[in-house]
Chains A and B, each alone.
Chain A
Amino acid sequence: MAEKTYLQAISDGLREEMRRDKRVFVIGEDVGVYGGAFKVTLGFQEEFGAWRVIDAPLSETAIVGGCTGAAIMGMRPVAEMQFADFISCAWDQLVTVAAKQRWRAGTPVPITIRLPSGGGFSGGPFHSQNPESSFAHIPGLKVICPATPEDAKGLLASAIQDPNPCLYFEHKHLYRRIKAEVPDERYETPFGKARVHQAGDDLSVITWGAMVYTAEEAAQQLDGDGVSVEILDLRTLVPWDKQAVLESVRKTSKVLVLHEDTHTGGFGGEIAATIAEEAFEDLDAPVKRITAPDTPVPFSPPLEKAFIPQVEDVVAGLRDLSEY
């Protein structure tokens, strides 16, 4: 075990997959000589060469479409979108071609798309989004949102070995901020198994990605009130661990669903609806959602702070629920 940043865990995990599996290659803008905009692939080209660490032209469609073709020919491509926001340029390749190919034509498309996502740095409307819910709505795509360094490595290994198109959302605000122990050996973290970030008895927070830590800080403030909060980190949205959510609901009877993606049509709505359908009788309060509002991600710090759910927003939400 060694302590690593979230970013280092992604980088090490990817390097390890490339070392053990010759079919794995990396393609993206500035991933080679420059090592990627966030330096995840720093030093990769020296180790693996220019045909396994491919500097692509500014062409997200060609990158994702190219990965699809290469995957159908037996490779295990890992594409990097420089920012998750730019995946919109490759929507067709992902949603029209890759997502439907297995169901429609029997041809699996084992590709992994790495998506540096999330705000908190005044990245503005085009460098800060969390578009995971849009893709969770598309049958045939898997959606992965690691929150810890250990999961970042293990979920990436699982994504690369998975026979489906996998969208791997790596939250930029976790890259260098979050450090934790990561096992040295190779391991795969299974999809669809939520992680109990902290156990609690009175309230449940269902969340993923960077919001896990926002929830943690909020929960600490409620400790003082004698309110015990359980935080469930979903890890993957497709597939999502419905059982773990329902178990937590049955235990605490009060639920807050928290995400950094915008409100309407956000994945939190799916979770809330499922709880209403399957655990209505176990609830002691209406399911509460805390999300970003239905606006683009703003640039100026006070606006961005108003957009991204803050610790105090979650504290207020938890207190409301607690008092209900």
Chain B
Amino acid sequence: MAIREAEPVGSLREVKEAGLDREDLLGIYRNMVITRGIEERGHILYKQGKIPGSFYTGRGNEASAVGVATAMGPEDVGTPLHRDMGVHVTRGVEPWRIFAQYMGRSDGPTRGRDGNVHMADSNLGMIAMVSHLPAMLPVAVGCALAFRIRGENRVAVGWYGEGASARGDAHEAMNFAGVRQLPVVFICDNNQWAYSTPTHLEYACDHLADRAQAYGFDGVVVDGTDVLAVYREAKRAIEKARGGGGPTLIESLTLRMEGHAVHDDAFYVPKEMFEEWAKSDPIERYRTWLQAHAELAGEEEDEISAGVKKLLNDALSRAEESPLPEPAKLADGVFASPEDLDTPHHK
């Protein structure tokens, strides 16, 4: 029951045991590169004045997001947050729709009604986040409750951050999930800064994963820059939940490598902290591992980079062609009609 600090991933053999073949490994790499590419282009779009409001990224969290999403089954569901673009990418949201979302266009998943990463494709099993964190944790627990009532072998994944860990929704969600041993996995993206607030002003325990024990389930701390370690821990937790073993809390430790949002230069984060964590950039770290353990050669790497570049350039062009939403339709869909329930999940 005590929390565990996860070992880093070592050999290719170990990874294969965790269920990944070489193609999967390259897919993970590609998804991480796409994730960062989308957010880097988002920065440019913002500077060009094409993104209304503010702009948030998950730089430094690519491994954590992609690692967890890769471990989920196709029927599993989740409530990813604003640092978890990699989840949407891994689940298959097309990048052009993400750019359309950023720019408030009608082809974004929320059709211009909400911005940033406040989006999800319900056909891909994702539920769109709200700004109030961690309000989506009770919702994820409710998904798990439905699976439990119906006796389905599906798992819900709920994300939150170390800042949101201070709010009551997290407690109520985890307590209920523990009491009922529901098939849910909690992912705490601990990126060490909640806007400008450091961890020691958010919580007083050593690790947030320590709290799992109090809720009656397992907690584990994993290095969130090690995509394969994240994958292994998420896979273990998800399959445990699927098998009736109850929830797990995975604390994924990273550093938020940019400000809270684009307007924030993060002056309050010590320079040395950025320098230290830059040494374990998730994408660089994984590339090095792939070179050492999976024979990733320069040519193959270039091919992936070129493919991602083309994908994102095309995506951007397509998103820019997407029309702006029509003000006349503003009031449509405040209330659902019975036909709206005709979705894969609501049936």
B179 cross-chain contacts in A, Cβ below 8 A: 57
Specify which of B131, B145, B347 is in contact with A69 (CB 8 Å cutoff). B145
Bound-state CA distance A105–B114 (Å) is 8
Residue B156 interfacial (CB < 8 Å) = yes
A100 cross-chain contacts in B, Cβ below 8 A: 130
Q: Smallest Cβ distance from B193 to chain A, in angstroms?
A: 23
**Interface 1/0 per residue, A76-88 and B, CB below 8 Å:** 0100000000000
A57 cross-chain contacts in B, Cβ below 8 A: 172, 175-176, 179
Does B135 contact A93, Cβ atoms closer than 8 Å? Answer: yes
Bound-state CA distance A225–B66 (Å) is 77
Q: Say which one of A59-67, A194-202, A245-253 lies at the interface with B.
A: A59-67
Residue B271 interfacial (CB < 8 Å) = no
Instruction: Number of A interface residues at 8 Å Cβ cutoff, please give it.
Output: 42
A110 cross-chain contacts in B, Cβ below 8 A: 336, 341, 346
A140 cross-chain contacts in B, Cβ below 8 A: 334-335
**Interface 1/0 per residue, A84-115 and B, CB below 8 Å:** 00000000110011001111111111100000
Bound-state CA distance A139–B147 (Å) is 30
Q: Say which one of B80-88, B115-123, B244-252, B273-281 lies at the interface with A.
A: B115-123
Q: Smallest Cβ distance from B88 to chain A, in angstroms?
A: 13
Specify which of A59, A72, A75, A102 is in contact with B139 (CB 8 Å cutoff). A72
Specify which of B130, B144, B168 is in contact with A97 (CB 8 Å cutoff). B130
Residue A262 interfacial (CB < 8 Å) = no
Does B142 contact A69, Cβ atoms closer than 8 Å? Answer: yes
Bound-state CA distance A25–B145 (Å) is 11
Does B122 contact A69, Cβ atoms closer than 8 Å? Answer: no
Bound-state CA distance A61–B134 (Å) is 11
Does B334 contact A66, Cβ atoms closer than 8 Å? Answer: no
Residue A2 interfacial (CB < 8 Å) = no
Bound-state CA distance A96–B134 (Å) is 12
Does A97 contact B334, Cβ atoms closer than 8 Å? Answer: no
Q: Smallest Cβ distance from A296 to chain B, in angstroms?
A: 23
- Residues 39-95 (chain B) with a chain A CB within 8 angstroms: 77
A25 cross-chain contacts in B, Cβ below 8 A: 149
* Chain A residue with the shortest CB-CB distance to B111: A106
Does A108 contact B340, Cβ atoms closer than 8 Å? Answer: yes
Does B138 contact A93, Cβ atoms closer than 8 Å? Answer: yes
Residue B169 interfacial (CB < 8 Å) = yes
B120 cross-chain contacts in A, Cβ below 8 A: 105
Given contacts A62-B141, A65-B141, contact A70 B135 (CB under 8 A): no
B238 cross-chain contacts in A, Cβ below 8 A: none
Bound-state CA distance A109–B137 (Å) is 16
Specify which of A59, A72, A75, A77 is in contact with B172 (CB 8 Å cutoff). A59
Does A75 contact B146, Cβ atoms closer than 8 Å? Answer: yes
The winner among B128, B135, B142, B338 for most chain A CB atoms within 10 A is: B142
Q: Smallest Cβ distance from B152 to chain A, in angstroms?
A: 9
Does A102 contact B141, Cβ atoms closer than 8 Å? Answer: no
B145 cross-chain contacts in A, Cβ below 8 A: 54, 66, 69-70
Residue B100 interfacial (CB < 8 Å) = no
B122 cross-chain contacts in A, Cβ below 8 A: 72, 105-107
Does A102 contact B336, Cβ atoms closer than 8 Å? Answer: yes
Specify which of B128, B146, B169 is in contact with A92 (CB 8 Å cutoff). B169
Bound-state CA distance A97–B143 (Å) is 14
Residue A279 interfacial (CB < 8 Å) = no
Bound-state CA distance A66–B175 (Å) is 12
Does B334 contact A139, Cβ atoms closer than 8 Å? Answer: yes
Q: Smallest Cβ distance from B89 to chain A, in angstroms?
A: 18
Specify which of A56, A61, A73, A105 is in contact with B128 (CB 8 Å cutoff). A105
Q: Smallest Cβ distance from B246 to chain A, in angstroms?
A: 15
Q: Smallest Cβ distance from B49 to chain A, in angstroms?
A: 24
Q: Smallest Cβ distance from A117 to chain B, in angstroms?
A: 23
Bound-state CA distance A66–B143 (Å) is 7
Bound-state CA distance A77–B132 (Å) is 23
Residue A163 interfacial (CB < 8 Å) = yes
Given contacts A59-B175, A62-B138, A74-B347, contact A52 B149 (CB under 8 A): yes
Residue A51 interfacial (CB < 8 Å) = yes
Does B142 contact A73, Cβ atoms closer than 8 Å? Answer: yes
B130 cross-chain contacts in A, Cβ below 8 A: 96-97, 100
**Interface 1/0 per residue, B239-277 and A, CB below 8 Å:** 000000000000000000000000000000000000000
Specify which of A64, A65, A72, A102 is in contact with B345 (CB 8 Å cutoff). A72
Given contacts A65-B142, A68-B138, contact A164 B335 (CB under 8 A): yes
Q: Report which A residues bind B (CB closer than 8 A).
A: 25, 51-52, 54, 56-57, 59, 61-62, 64-75, 77, 92-93, 96-97, 100-110, 139-140, 142, 163-164
What are 23 A-B interface contacts by the 8 Å CB criterion?
A59-B175, A65-B138, A65-B172, A66-B139, A68-B139, A69-B139, A69-B141, A69-B142, A69-B146, A69-B156, A70-B145, A71-B142, A74-B146, A74-B347, A75-B149, A97-B130, A101-B127, A102-B333, A104-B113, A105-B110, A106-B111, A107-B343, A140-B335
